[in-house]
Structure 1
């Protein structure tokens, strides 16, 4: 089925350098999807030489001539991309220990290219010398990380079910923007849209110094289905113990289901607005605070990274819109536009999506 997701305004007129993984090529499905989804962006995707030193030289030359606005590297390509300092970069499941990984995952000896190569080759052979070259090049990762690189330039994405590489801790010891996502090792369509594109969005906004209207969204009864949450609890003794205050049950907020269309709406709004989650957990339940973080990470994913605000004085948050189902905790004093969720004309998330579509990002 042909993908219909497109962002023609995102990275418009810019260049993305895509650095593929081991045994892949510049003709991978990911490259095709990037070009389809970003029709006004130039995606440069070279076939990397097998030899790691040659691949690194090629990438440095491309960066010198193309001056890409963004570099995306996956797996082995993430290891290479980390060393391309001075550029905005997204590293997806970076294989910082590629030399060791090849040996443990049967990457030595005769191998097949997984995607078509420009030279027509279908097979290649990994010798011990090639493995040593991978190891030597990878040893130079993190050598030139300065404060700008650490805080701003580089994002790392790590699949929580990745069976191949596990380098989050290595990344996090040098960079602050390491994010877990719901996925495995390969960069499939879902991961690209729901995990990579939110970061591309942030990078493009920063590069353009683009200011978007600020939107806050409440959690309980708005994003998360609070009412049905306590109805799902079958432990009668627990319900009796916390009678009249189910919100004090440890773990309660982490186990709520999303409201219908809430996740879809959050992703849409995050593309067009500077969107944050603004919630007021009960002081009487110490786990509620961490439960809400767990819920946001599980259901809203990468797009919610560092966008959870906990406050019992919502009026202190400056912004343009607040979506809430109650006018308490300062919501009634919010200085922007207050949208009462659950009441006409905003009874559902579909109603709210229609409203903001008509606003067109204003």
Structure 2
């Protein structure tokens, strides 16, 4: 029996970029932005000064210092028992993120083999059975089953199967295994 494949986005799926971005913005600009302030707003419009917020993404260390989303490590270890797991990030938009994301994965997800890490510019080239992502721009072109991982910017999206946590991801895939 062939194992099915699962592509997993990094930012706001396994790496808590939102929390990191808020902390960086508040420290840099003396603001008091909270995660609640970002709920339901597109990422480019979520901060009081969106242009200043975007500059933070280009600073060294931005991607390297993000916390891990709760439950992601344990869930991916468990999913690896039954699925081929690929970490897929559209990292080309922020070239300084390439090394930082690779180093971040090596630290927090050392059980993901380097052959299963894909840094690309456009995720429409990914042809896995499942894609877990927080952005419609990636899920809209998914060749398998798209799974929307909840983030502040996508809470109002009704399209696609939604998961709010890694425990919900595990529940979903336990159901998939039971049905196969």
TM-score, normalising length: structure 1: 0.38
Task: Show the counterpart of 1:214.
Answer: 5
| SS at structure 2 position matched to 1:232 | helix
Q: What are the Cα deviations for residues 317-339 of structure 1, in whole angstroms up to 9, with x where unaligned?
A: 211000001111x4311111000
Shift of 1:302: 2.5
| Cα distance in 2 between the residues matched to 1:250 and 1:238 | 20
- 2:46 equivalent to 1:236: no
For 1:331 and 1:275, the matched residues in 2 are separated by 17
Query: Given the alignment, which residue of 75, 80, 91 partners 1:281?
Result: 91
Aligned equivalents of 2:79 and 2:146: distance in 1?
Answer: 16
**Aligned Cα root-mean-square deviation (Å):** 2.4
Q: Work out the number of aligned pairs and report it.
A: 150
Where does residue 324 of structure 1 map in the other structure?
133
What does 1:155-166 correspond to in 2, within 5 Å? none
Unaligned runs of 5+ in 2: 32-48, 156-160
Question: 2-side partners of 1:355 and 1:212: how far apart?
Answer: 16
Q: Which has the higher contact order (CA 8 A, sep 6+)?
A: 2
Shift in CA distance, 286/332, structure 1 to aligned 2, threshold 3 Å: same
- Which runs of structure 2 are paired with 1:87-166 in the superposition (5 Å)? none
Choose which of 109, 112, 118 in structure 2 pairs with 1:303: 112
Match of 1:253 in 2: 63
Tell me the TM-score normalized by structure 2: 0.74
Q: Which stretches in structure 1 are left out of the alignment for 5+ residues?
A: 1-209
Deviations 1:217-260 (A, max 9, x none): 000010110110122336426999x7131211112111101111
Runs of 4+ in 1 over 3 A off after TM superposition: 237-240
Distance in 2, matches of 1:299 and 1:235, equals 25
